[in-house]
Structure 1
Amino acid sequence: MGQYAVLIYAPDSAHAPDATAADTESCDEHAEELVAAESMLVAYALTPRSMARSLRPDGTTEGPFVDASHVVAGFYVVEAPDLDAALALARTNPVLREGGGVEVRPVHSGGVVRS
């Protein structure tokens, strides 16, 4: 089984500090489905773009690294037998029905090793 990162692109993140359960309901339901299917390994929701800070050689700027209509709102890593299976899992992400998109990329390596 391979690991695949699913990057979620949306106009902004629904996970603001003052977000309600209704604000994040579709995201939470989707995560629960992937957990129940034993596909999801890890998931992280990012805060809204206004909370981002970007580092460049000449200093720090407020906002996301790339000023675009959609930003990375979160990501998760799934385990799937191949890319086609990972794409099938990613197609169930609610952001696709809400005007956003997803990007699926095979994970090459990683993980945290602590002594």
Structure 2
Amino acid sequence: MAEAVFLPDGSRFVATELARGPWDPAAQHGGAPAALLVRAFERLELPAEQILARVTYEFLRPVVLGTLRVSAEVVRAGRRAALAEGSIYSDGGRRSCGRGVCTCTGPSSTQMRRPGRFRVRTP
């Protein structure tokens, strides 16, 4: 058995047995294509102080075992945040898509300030 969930094949990825899901022998479990989308988001060019903070997925159709193509792009870039979108395709078309939100990790002028002392009233 292979030790990788996907094997690279040029610009595509070939799913191994580790990607096979429990419900359909011809389809992958959700974690495998989700990880492939995260990999694509993490390889996008972003400012050094931004990191991937949140990812959402949509499974449009079963993601079949076999060869997949992954695309990802930054659709909105800003100084403090960026939005990326990506998709997974197989022979039958688009199978899954997702969005990644990247946020700034450094100090920010919009960070919450530490509150002063509060008076507590008891009934």
Under TM normalisation by the shorter chain, which class is it?
A: under 0.3
Q: Which has the higher strand share?
A: 2
Q: Which has the higher helix share?
A: 1
Provide the TM-score with structure 1 as the length reference: 0.26
Structure of larger gyration radius: 2
